């Protein structure tokens, strides 16, 4: 079966959602056979097809009626599928289970791992922490000196020793030790995940109880402040640098100047006007000092701290940075975007920092759950082999004889053979031409194990996850409908040559073609080369031979420059060829795209009626479509005769009246 058509059917036949208002669940919109269709079922199906409840509630009654007709037909087909025993069809069940295993793995990763993590990350990024740390070296193999020393320092801090003093004395982070270990404000996604996890688990004023190990060493972490984070702010500033009017460094002059400006602000003078007059930041002065929007940590620390502590409209005291003296005015606090607006950025951040660790933990948990057992026999055989067999050569090699029955690993007492891994390697362009060695096998096996564990969990996922259960119901309905359409419509379509010839004879005027021209081309990137070929043609050279050997249009040398029959449109090649009078005539060189062309006329076909052969494919499509619609009407009519549906259009007047 063609999966693309199945998915179209799934979308077209709008599978159902559940969970509804009590009132809507009692109102009937249709009955057929022994089944009933409630208003709630109709609303859920319609809303899903329309793109949501809000979109659906504003549609017209006539649209509701048309949809109900289609929906009842859909439900009758499912009833017919049930009567035919599709639930026990081995082929359909095999396809359904295969889909469950494949889609289930992606569902588990996206819905049970990534999606909750993105929402958690979004919420975490609304908080910020001011953090200090004492960083110590990592221990070498077999040593615990730095770990023990970190524990000792934590004990001293808990007994009243100054964190700041210990940081200045012992921390090996040269950037923060001078400030007592202060690394300023952070939020989720800005620091190593292990460090971040400890920060979010620590209350303000407390230290994390144990040393945190990262690639940089051991960290003793203290949270000095925790608060709601401002997403972004907008501020303006006036900068007075450390230079006097003569261009010499003079901090006293600068301080006096900035104090004068500060006094004018306090007296009520306009901040933007003063920025234009006095600010030495030429990039912002003409805009009244406006710096635009910025996040925490985008400015130097002193500036950042002052700006983020202001309220909108408030002006700071004089702030000194390495650039000079600043006066800052906060003009706007920008609200957090919605989760959906942030989703793309959150996903990129999650994939970069968190995904691998989270995925590995999921697989580790599944290994325990499904009694995973690894076997090393295959690796021993591979390491002893010196033949250098590549994956694509494996099937005919002596290595295959040694490994074909060897178990690679087991999941829930089901053995997975080495040959299964080789099949994956041969199908993957990264590995197909690589030699079968331990490192490459281990890389493939890691992905293989993960996929198989997720597939195993998928087998029962519909029992525990309602959303996945609904997805599987959707797909099951889709393959049932596809099977019915195949049996009752597509496989019964019979369109033969006699039918097509008769249709053409009766409808010739419907099949017309525009002017068409068959031509060949010699294409050159330089006009001088094109002119030399034109001169050669004038001297008797064969056009096709020149095109075959010299045309520079990609893919046309092997065709001797021949384009075949083309409709004459706006393309300059078509028009130049059509302008030639006789077959075999060729044009002078003319500009064509980024080069030069000479075209030869092979054949002209003026506009007119298409021959039967020219119209054959089009006629076949028309007749197949007509037959398909006829057979669909017959099948639907048979269902109506069997189930005798009763449609209660009047109930649709109550559709989407209750807010969900």
The verdict on residue 532 lying in a domain is yes
- Which residues on neighbouring strands pair with residue 660, listed in sequence order? none
Quote the domain boundaries for residue 206.
127-228
**Residue written as token pair 């302008």:** 579
Residues 6+ away with beta carbon under 8 Å from 509: 609
Residues 6+ away with beta carbon under 8 Å from 43: 20, 24, 53, 56, 655, 656
pLDDT > 80? residue 10: no
> Of 345, 346, 425, 358, which Cα lies nearest the Cα of 108?
358
204-248 pLDDT tens trace:
999 999 999 999 999 999 999 999 999 999 999 999 999 988 889
Residues 254 and 188 placed together within one structural domain of the fold: no
pLDDT > 60? residue 4: no
- Which residues on neighbouring strands pair with residue 218, listed in sequence order? 136, 213
Q: Distance between CA atoms of 42 and 39, rounded to whole angstroms?
A: 5
167-195 pLDDT tens trace:
999 999 999 999 999 999 999 999 999 99
> Of 375, 281, 292, 359, which Cα lies nearest the Cα of 330?
292
pTM of the model: 0.75
The verdict on residue 389 lying in a domain is yes
pLDDT at 140: 87
How many structural domains are present in the chain? Answer: 5
Residues 464 and 453 placed together within one structural domain of the fold: yes
Q: Distance between CA atoms of 390 and 408, rounded to whole angstroms?
A: 18
Residues 111 and 133 placed together within one structural domain of the fold: no
The verdict on residue 631 lying in a domain is yes
- Which residues on neighbouring strands pair with residue 128, listed in sequence order? 227
Q: Is 287 helix (H, G, I), strand (E, B) or coil?
A: coil
The verdict on residue 340 lying in a domain is no
Residues 49 and 104 placed together within one structural domain of the fold: no
The verdict on residue 591 lying in a domain is yes
Instruction: Write phi, then psi, for 90 (nearest 5 degrees).
Output: -60, -40
Q: Distance between CA atoms of 365 and 359, rounded to whole angstroms?
A: 10
The verdict on residue 501 lying in a domain is no
The DSSP secondary structure of 110-144, one letter per residue, reads IIIIIHHHHHHHHHHTTEEEEEEEEEEPPPPTT--
pLDDT at 205: 96
Whichever domain contains 309, its CATH number is: 3.10.50.40
pLDDT at 492: 96
The DSSP secondary structure of 194-231, one letter per residue, reads HHHHHHHTS-TT-B-SS-EEETTEEEEEEEEEEEEPPS
Residues 432 and 393 placed together within one structural domain of the fold: yes
Residues 389 and 473 placed together within one structural domain of the fold: yes
pLDDT > 80? residue 110: yes
Q: Distance between CA atoms of 208 and 190, rounded to whole angstroms?
A: 19
605-624 pLDDT tens trace:
999 999 999 999 999 999 99
**In the listed set 305, 334, 363, which residue is the last one of a domain according to the structure?**
334
The verdict on residue 341 lying in a domain is no
The verdict on residue 342 lying in a domain is no
Residues 526 and 589 placed together within one structural domain of the fold: yes
**In the listed set 591, 609, 627, which residue is the last one of a domain according to the structure?**
609
Residues 11 and 105 placed together within one structural domain of the fold: no
pLDDT at 386: 86
Residues 482 and 357 placed together within one structural domain of the fold: yes
pLDDT > 70? residue 117: yes
Residues 476 and 379 placed together within one structural domain of the fold: yes
Residues 452 and 482 placed together within one structural domain of the fold: yes
Residues 298 and 362 placed together within one structural domain of the fold: no
**In the listed set 454, 488, 522, which residue is the last one of a domain according to the structure?**
488
């Amino acid at each position: 079966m063609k999966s693309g058509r199945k998915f179209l059917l799934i979308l077209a036949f709008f599978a159902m959602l559940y969970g509804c208002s009590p009132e809507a669940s009692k109102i009937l919109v249709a009955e057929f056979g022994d089944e009933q269709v409630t208003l709630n079922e109709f609303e859920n199906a319609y809303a899903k097809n329309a793109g949501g409840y809000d979109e659906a509630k504003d549609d017209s009654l006539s649209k509701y009626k048309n949809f109900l007709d289609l929906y009842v037909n859909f439900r009758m087909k499912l009833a017919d599928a049930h009567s035919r025993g599709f639930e026990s069809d081995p082929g359909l069940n095999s396809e359904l289970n295969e889909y469950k295993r494949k889609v289930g793995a992606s569902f588990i990763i996206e819905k049970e791992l990534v999606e909750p993590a993105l929402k958690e990350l979004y919420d975490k990024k609304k908080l910020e922490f001011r953090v200090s740390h004492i960083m110590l070296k990592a221990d070498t193999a077999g040593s615990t000196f730095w770990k023990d020393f970190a524990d000792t320092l934590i004990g001293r801090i808990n007994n009243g020793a100054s964190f700041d003093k210990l940081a200045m004395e012992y921390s090996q982070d040269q950037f923060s030790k001078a400030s007592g270990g202060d690394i300023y404000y952070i939020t989720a996604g800005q620091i190593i995940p292990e460090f971040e996890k400890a920060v979010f688990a620590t209350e303000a004023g407390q230290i994390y109880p144990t040393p945190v190990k990262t690639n940089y060493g051991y960290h003793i972490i203290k949270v000095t402040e925790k608060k709601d984070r401002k997403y972004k702010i907008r501020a303006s500033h006036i900068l007075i640098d450390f230079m006097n009017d003569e261009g010499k460094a003079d901090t006293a002059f600068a301080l006096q100047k900035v104090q004068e400006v500060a006094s004018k602000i306090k007296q009520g003078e306009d901040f933007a006007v003063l920025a234009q007059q006095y600010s030495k930041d030429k990039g912002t002065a003409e805009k009244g000092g406006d710096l635009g929007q910025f996040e925490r940590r985008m400015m130097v620390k002193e500036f950042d701290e002052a700006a983020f502590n202001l309220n909108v409209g408030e002006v700071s005291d004089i702030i000194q940075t390495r650039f000079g003296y600043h006066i800052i005015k906060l003009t706007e606090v920008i609200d957090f975007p919605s989760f959906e607006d942030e989703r793309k950025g959150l996903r990129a951040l999650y994939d970069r920092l968190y995904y691998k660790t989270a995925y590995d933990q999921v697989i580790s948990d599944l290994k325990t759950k499904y009694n995973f057992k690894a076997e090393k026999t295959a690796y021993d055989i591979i390491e002893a082999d010196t033949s250098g067999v590549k994956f694509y050569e494996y099937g005919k090699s002596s290595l295959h004889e040694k490994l074909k029955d060897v178990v690679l690993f087991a999941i829930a007492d089901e053995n997975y053979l080495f040959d299964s891994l080789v099949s994956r390697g041969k199908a993957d362009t990264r590995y197909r031409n690589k030699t079968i060695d331990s490192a490459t096998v281990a890389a493939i096996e890691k992905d293989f194990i993960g996929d198989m564990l997720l597939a195993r969990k998928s087998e029962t996922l519909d029992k525990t996850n309602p959303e996945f259960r609904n997805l599987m119901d959707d797909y099951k309905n889709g393959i049932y409908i596809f099977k019915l359409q195949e049996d009752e419509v597509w496989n019964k379509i019979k369109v033969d040559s006699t039918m097509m010839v008769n249709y053409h004879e009766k409808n010739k005027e419907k099949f017309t073609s525009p002017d068409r021209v068959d031509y060949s081309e010699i294409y050159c990137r330089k006009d001088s080369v094109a002119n030399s070929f034109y001169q050669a043609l004038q001297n008797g050279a064969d056009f096709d031979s020149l095109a075959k050997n010299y045309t520079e249009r990609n893919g046309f040398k092997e065709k001797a420059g021949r384009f075949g029959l083309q409709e004459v449109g706006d393309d300059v090649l078509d028009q130049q060829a059509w302008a030639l009078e006789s077959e075999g005539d060729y044009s002078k060189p003319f500009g064509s795209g980024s080069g030069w062309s000479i075209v030869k006329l092979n054949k002209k076909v003026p506009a007119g009626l298409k021959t039967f052969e020219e119209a054959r494919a089009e006629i076949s499509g028309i007749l197949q479509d007509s037959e398909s619609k006829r057979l669909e009407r017959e099948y639907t009519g048979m269902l109506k005769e069997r189930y005798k549906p009763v449609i209660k259009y009047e109930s649709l007047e109550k559709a989407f009246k209750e807010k969900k």
